[in-house]
Amino acid sequence: MSVEGFPRPPDRFIVNTGEGQVIEEEKIRFFEAVLDFVGYDLSAKEAFAEILPMVLHRYDSRGQVRPTDDRISLLIMKGRLAASLLERRNDFNYVEVSFACYLTPELVSQLRESLGNK
């Protein structure tokens, strides 16, 4: 299996603070494309896929761990990382949004075989 036809992550983009709906719509569109490519129908999506949103943390000047405005969302399929979205607030208070797809031919084969699809 080649990578031809694999879902392509959206290009990185920047939005104003408060435009979370744009980010959410693009995240859902991309994650759905990944799920559809592997062949997950609605019941497989509900049973074997999950989106895990997380807030990132960092150390402050006192060495205390503090939450940031940055977030990551992971698409997990059958316990395997398939795709992600990173939202990072830059120094100008804009939100930089980057996507990644971690599908490999081997992972796609494993996920499809676990569903009985090849």
Instruction: Evaluate whether residue 8 is within a structural domain.
Output: no
Q: Residue 1 is encoded by which pair of tokens?
A: 């299996």
Is residue 2 in a domain? no
**Boundaries of domain holding 106:** 13-112
Q: Output phi, psi for 63, to 5 deg.
A: 85, 10
Domain count, the chain: 1
| pLDDT 10s digits, 11-46 | 999 999 889 899 999 999 999 999 999 999 999 999
Top pLDDT among 114 and 1 is at 114
Question: Which residues touch 105 (CB under 8 Å, ≥6 apart)?
Answer: 1, 2, 3
Handedness of CA 4, 46, 73, 11 (dihedral sign): positive
